[in-house]
Every structure is written in structure tokens, then in C-alpha cells.
Amino acid sequence: MTGPRAPSRAAPGGREFLVLMSVCMGMAALSIDMLLPAFGDMREDFGLEAGSTEVSQVITTFFLGLAVGQLLYGPLSDRYGRKRLLYLGLAIFVLGGVAAALTTSLAGLSAARFVWGFGAAAPRSLAVAMVRDTFEGERMARTMSFVMAAFILVPVFAPAAGAAVLAVAPWRTVLWVQVGAAVGLGLWATRLPETLHPDDRRQVTPSALAGAIVAVARSRQTLVFGLAITAIFGIMTSYIGSAEVLIDEVFGQGDRFPLIFGVLAGTMAFGALLSARLVVRIGLARLVRGGAAYLLTMASVLAVLARATDGRPSLAAFGVVLAMLLPGIAILIPSCNTAAMAPLGQVAGMGAAVLGTVSTAGGALLGTLTDRAFDGTASPFAFHVLAFAAIAAGTIIAFGRPPRVGVVEPEAVEPVAAA
């Protein structure tokens, strides 16, 4: 670069840039969690029985759209830049949200949610790629933890915001509010600089895409941590999909769902912020191994609690164990994502796409297994969480070898200059 960046732009590495990345990452979570308090009204509107898990398909189809969309935005952003694809995704986001608000059937809503998720894949996956464009090493891990904190912080207030809307308006109004949020992000994103350097752009040809896929597939580190992320994401989707019915049907606290869900989500936010500090103190390798052991331990405690109480523990006991388990997810997702992305500097867009697609689609399908196993108790949820935690921890401990980048202070790594 030959001169200072215009102060009206959100310079890479600056506060506004990081906030924008956080908002991009949080859009998908907002699209999911703000709708959860409306499940009861949706069941009534679509003629479903109270406690029916059919309504959770609007979460599953959203996640599937989120997964598929990343296969488009990742490689195309490697060719055309991050900003153009961000605008395209937000336009599809708005289209899916409008269709969802206007549909009159659960099947139509599910289809619209797939389109919606397809659009939401752009801000989510491109935020990861833009962080990878801008930072390296432990600095990238620390920044990724802050950005991922937005994805985790949103559930703290989103259900309460959804409940507030429901108190004064029909449930479809919640969908219109989210459409408005996407439009607002699109306007704000005009201040975002392009982070992909011209020298790093790749041609969008079958051979180029095949080469990028081969580069991802040949990285043992990427594959190992990609599998771990999938299993961990399975725990998260199981929790999101089952939380409302568990709190309502098992514990009889449906009216307090936004509060309970928000408090538990707050523990995940704590985990994400703790991860950002720990990664620069103890290093990435120690963090992922310690986090994996911790997650497996707490998942085992949850399963023992469910077994000892025939699937009906007290809400206090269940909540305390969950509050201890969820931070482990928040610590591992950004750290494992960093470890998986580290070898993929020249194919960051495709790497983010493949990782996002596999973890999101795989995690959504794992979450569906948990939803369908619901039997009126907390046991299926607890045992599925233990199984997914065992897969993640076993993979990380047995096969994971994160790069041993020296522990650095946040200021020690300079951001990569953007175009």
C-alpha cells in the first residue's frame, strides 16, 4: 500500500472491522435463536400437537442451507473477493426471510428456511475467511475466539428479543425483524474493505476447484480437526434443537425458556472469551487437548446424572452441569477451526467452505438424531451429547497435532495488508 487507508473505512484489524466480523458471524445465530420462543405459536398455527418436535425441522433445514451455501461462497470469494459474495448472500438471506414470513405451511416455511440458511452462509463463512486473510497464528486464534463469541453471545439475548416481539405482535413479525437486520448489515458492510489480496485470487475453473479440494483433503490436520468440529457442532445443534422441548416438557418451565436459555448461553460466551485469553497464554496445542478432555468429562457427568435420575433430574442439577459443559464447546470450536484452517493459507475461502459445510451439515444431521430420539426425558439428549463428545475428544487426543506456534502477545503478529 502506498498511503494511509481512508478513515471512513473499517480497516483490517481495527475495532470496526472486528465488530463487523462479529456481526456477520452472529447473523446465523440470530436467525435461529430469535425464533425459538415462537415454537409454541408455530405449533398452534400449523396444527401440531403441543410438544411436537416436527417444528424443529425449521432449524435443521436452515442448518442444511447454511452448509450447502458455503460451497458456493467459499470458492467464488477466492476468485471475486469477499465483499461481492457477502452482498450476494445477504440478498438471498432477505429473499428467504421474506418467503418464510409469507408462507402458510410448515413445509413451505422449512423450504424458505433452507433458502434463508443458504444466504446466511455468506456472512458466516466469509467472516472466517476474512479473519484468515488478515491474521496469522495465535493472533488468528485469539481474533477468531472474539468473532465466534458473537455467534455464542447472540443466544443470550435473541430468545428474549423474540419473546418481546411475540408479546406485542404475531410470531411472523420475528421473521420480519431478522430481515431488517440483514438489510442493516448490508448497508454497514459498504464500509468494509476487500481483504483478499489480488495475488491470492484463484480462478473459478473445475481444475482450480479440484486442486483446492485436493489441498484440503491432503491436509491430515484439516481433516482431523474438521471431524472434531463436526462432532462438537453436533452437540451444539442438539442443544439448540432440544432446548425448548426439554425446558417445557421435561422441566415444565416453558414460560421461563428465554431466561433459562439466555443464562446458559451466557456460559458459552464466557467460554469463548476465556478461549481468547488462554490461546495466547498456553498455546493452541495445549488448549485443544485440555478443552477436549474437559468436554468429555462434563458430558460424562451429564450422562451419569440422566442415568441416575431416569432422565428426570432437577432443573437446577441439569442446568448446573450444562452451564459447565457449554463453555467447553465455546473453547473448542474456534480453536479447532484455527487448527484446521492453519495449513490452508492460499485456499482460505475453499477451506472455510469445506470445513463449514462438513461441520454444519454433519452437525445438523447429528442434532436431528437427538431430536428424533426425544422420549419425554432428558436421557436421549444426555447420551447423544456423550457420544458426540467422545468422538470429538478421541479424534483430537489420538490424531490431532495442532501447529506448535509460539505463544505470542496479541500485538506481536501484524495483520496481513489487505488489497
Q: Is 415 left (phi over 0), alpha (psi -120 to 50) or beta?
A: beta
- What percentage of the chain carries pLDDT values higher than 90? 37
Q: Does pLDDT of 124 surpass 50?
A: yes
- d(C-alpha 279, C-alpha 138), whole Å: 7
Q: Place 231 in a pLDDT band, splitting at 50, 70 and 90.
A: very high
Length of the chain: 419
- d(C-alpha 224, C-alpha 219), whole Å: 9
Mean pLDDT of the chain: 83
Between the alpha carbon of residue 114 and those of residues 53, 62, 128, 224, 410, the distances in Å are 18, 5, 21, 28, 38
What pLDDT score was predicted for residue 293? 95
What pLDDT score was predicted for residue 408? 31
What pLDDT score was predicted for residue 419? 29
What pLDDT score was predicted for residue 55? 85
The verdict on pTM exceeding 0.85 is no
Q: Place 384 in a pLDDT band, splitting at 50, 70 and 90.
A: very high
- Give the CATH architecture of domain 15-409: Up-down Bundle (1.20)
